[in-house]
């Protein structure tokens, strides 16, 4: 189900995606980096937790009707963290990982929403 997109992907009821993200200790004095790496790239430098990052991406998708990423060049130039580096980092020891299967659905009011089909590790309130 892995599908990485560079541009926006229109979201619609029934669309299923796999979202992968990571958070790791980069030896910063405060906070740590968090990134969603698939199917789009989004990053936070403020110690954002992975569940919150997933929710941010999904809320933006249902509000905009499109799953959008951001340009990773800031991270590549400024930090030296290319997308290839982040994909490898996903599997390294000491990295907090998120893998979630998500389906977009219509809620009881006919608005676009989502449901998490599976999540590893499980959400804290699941």
Q: Is residue 125 part of a domain?
A: no
Please report the pLDDT score of residue 82 as a whole number: 82
List the one residue out of 93, 108, 92, 102 whose CA is nearest residue 123: 102
Number of separate domains in the chain = 1
Q: Is residue 1 part of a domain?
A: no
- What is the rounded average pLDDT of the residues 43-67? 92
Quote the mean pLDDT of the chain.
86
Q: Is residue 35 part of a domain?
A: yes
Q: Which residues contact 39 (CB under 8 A, 6 or more apart)?
A: 2, 3, 4, 5, 9, 17, 18, 19, 67
For 76-121, the pLDDT digits (tens) are 877 778 888 888 888 888 889 999 999 999 999 999 999 999 999 7
Please report the pLDDT score of residue 122 as a whole number: 67
Domain that includes residue 22, residue range = 9-120
pTM of the model: 0.84
Please report the pLDDT score of residue 71 as a whole number: 81
Q: Which residues of 20-54 are buried (b: 16+ CB within 10 A; e: fewer)?
A: bbbbbeeeeeeebbbbbbbbbbbbbbeebebbebb
Q: Is residue 3 part of a domain?
A: no
Q: Is residue 4 part of a domain?
A: no
Are 57 and 18 a contacting pair, CB within 8 Å? no
Strand, coil or helix: 120 = strand
- What is the rounded average pLDDT of the residues 9-34? 88
Please report the pLDDT score of residue 1 as a whole number: 42
d(CA 21, CA 56): 12
Indicate the range of 4-18, 55-69, 98-112 predicted with least confidence: 4-18
């Amino acid at each position: 189900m892995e599908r990485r997109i560079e541009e926006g992907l229109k979201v619609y009821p029934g669309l299923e995606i796999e979202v992968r993200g990571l958070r790791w200790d980069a030896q910063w004095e405060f906070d740590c980096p968090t990134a969603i790496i698939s199917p789009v790239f989004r990053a936070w430098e403020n110690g954002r937790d992975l569940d919150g990052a997933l929710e941010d991406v999904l809320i933006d998708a249902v509000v905009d009707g499109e799953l959008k990423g951001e340009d990773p060049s800031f991270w590549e130039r400024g930090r030296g963290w290319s997308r290839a580096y982040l994909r490898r980092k996903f599997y390294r020891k000491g990295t907090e990982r998120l893998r979630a299967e998500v389906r977009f659905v219509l809620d009881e009011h006919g608005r676009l929403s989502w449901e998490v089909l599976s999540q590893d590790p499980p959400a804290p309130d699941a």
